[in-house]
């Protein structure tokens, strides 16, 4: 199958035949060399480049960064180009939490995904594929302050602090390593009958689903570092604070309250997956959290700490 990965993201060697993005230098050289083509574009609305990139491909995987503009507007520009080129298989904004559990406003970052889903169902012949994987493992239990659910003292090998609301520490957290997600994505793209026939749909997979406390125990065992699991208040406290922030800064303030709104959604159990969840272990055994952390430590010891601390 000939697939275009859009824009450039790392995938297993056998998969993409073409890619597009703003500059090929952002791809690792081994991937650039493996591609049949790389079509440069100036932006997500560069229609001539989009049209060139999608012409003659069997499938498109849209992997724009986490951004409401790209989720909605970028997705639509690309989808219209795909329609014109008669491409039926279209992976829309993906590798997310299970947004099928939420309504507009529950987690504002995903409002743009809900809008895309709604609009495309009504106004396109394409039936997109949406892949749900929970949180990427690479973002979990980071000792550096860059991740959504946890942060540490800034030292690459420091302790980790995770905050939750209400009973958020007992809810199941679905997570997936990027390698598992890549393998499962390619499997679905190449071999899932509904996807191949252009029927689209929501497909859930994951590497695991521990609670926050279970994950913390594994982290402590593997790294010897402390994880502080801290209750920041009741769910109602969090909801009140979130409402106040929404009144204060309006829709545009979504990035400032992202962590809080994610904690509220977690405490409400909204990030627990609906069924069905696919078992794709025949393609690749899911990585355990312990294996992931050990790999991260190996990588970190080469770079001077636990993980890259990016």
Q: Which residues bind ligand NAP (CB under 6 A)?
A: 7-8, 21-22, 26, 43-44, 63-66, 70, 93-96, 133, 135-136, 139
**In Å, how far are 10, 190, 205, 281, 295 from 262, measured between CA atoms?**
27, 33, 20, 29, 27
The answer to whether the CB of 194 falls within 8 A of the CB of 200 is: yes
The answer to whether the CB of 189 falls within 8 A of the CB of 59 is: yes
* Shortest distance (Å) from residue 244 CB to ligand NAP: 27
Q: Which is nearer to ligand NAP, 223 or 262 (CB)?
A: 262
For 20, which DSSP code?
E
* Shortest distance (Å) from residue 299 CB to ligand NAP: 17
The answer to whether the CB of 104 falls within 8 A of the CB of 202 is: no
Q: Which is nearer to ligand NAP, 239 or 292 (CB)?
A: 292
* Shortest distance (Å) from residue 234 CB to ligand NAP: 26
Q: Which is nearer to ligand NAP, 11 or 143 (CB)?
A: 11
Q: Which is nearer to ligand NAP, 65 or 249 (CB)?
A: 65
Contacts of 149 (CB under 8 A, 6+ apart): 135, 139, 140, 162, 163, 212, 259, 262, 263, 266
* Shortest distance (Å) from residue 123 CB to ligand NAP: 22
SS3 95: coil
Ramachandran sector of residue 159 (left: φ over 0; alpha: ψ -120 to 50; beta: rest): beta
Q: Which is nearer to ligand NAP, 20 or 239 (CB)?
A: 20
* Shortest distance (Å) from residue 136 CB to ligand NAP: 4
Q: Which is nearer to ligand NAP, 8 or 157 (CB)?
A: 8
Q: Distance between CA 215 and CA 206 in Å, rounded?
A: 15
Q: Distance between CA 178 and CA 190 in Å, rounded?
A: 18
Q: Are strands 150-152 and 160-164 parallel, antiparallel or unpaired?
A: antiparallel
* Shortest distance (Å) from residue 131 CB to ligand NAP: 8
């Amino acid at each position: 199958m000939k697939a275009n990965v859009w824009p450039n993201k790392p995938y297993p060697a056998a998969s993409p035949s073409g890619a597009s993005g703003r500059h090929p230098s952002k791809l690792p050289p081994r991937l650039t060399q493996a591609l049949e083509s790389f079509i440069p574009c100036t932006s997500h609305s560069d229609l001539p480049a989009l049209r060139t990139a999608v012409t003659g491909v069997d499938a498109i995987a849209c992997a724009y960064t986490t951004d409401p503009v790209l989720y909605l507007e970028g997705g639509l520009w690309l989808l219209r180009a795909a329609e014109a080129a008669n491409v039926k298989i279209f992976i829309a904004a993906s590798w997310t939490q299970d947004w099928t559990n939420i309504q507009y406003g529950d987690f504002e970052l995903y409002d743009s995904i809900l809008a895309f889903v709604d609009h495309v169902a009504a106004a396109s012949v394409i039936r997109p594929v949406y892949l749900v994987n929970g949180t990427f493992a690479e973002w979990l239990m980071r000792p550096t302050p860059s991740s959504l659910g946890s942060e540490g003292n800034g030292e690459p090998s420091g302790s980790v602090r995770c905050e939750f609301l209400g009973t958020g520490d007992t809810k199941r957290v679905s997570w997936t390593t990027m390698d598992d997600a890549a393998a499962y994505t390619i499997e679905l793209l190449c071999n899932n009958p509904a996807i191949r026939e252009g029927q689209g749909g929501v497909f859930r997979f994951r590497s695991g689903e521990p609670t926050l406390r279970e994950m913390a125990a594994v982290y402590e065992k593997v790294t010897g570092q402390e994880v502080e699991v801290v209750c920041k208040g009741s769910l109602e406290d969090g909801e009140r604070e979130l409402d106040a922030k929404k009144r204060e800064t309006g829709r545009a303030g979504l990035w400032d309250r992202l962590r809080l709104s994610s904690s509220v959604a977690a405490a409400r159990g909204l990030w627990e997956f609906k069924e069905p969840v696919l078992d794709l272990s025949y393609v690749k055994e899911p990585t355990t959290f312990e294996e992931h952390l050990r790999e991260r430590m190996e990588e970190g010891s080469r770079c001077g700490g636990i993980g890259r601390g990016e």
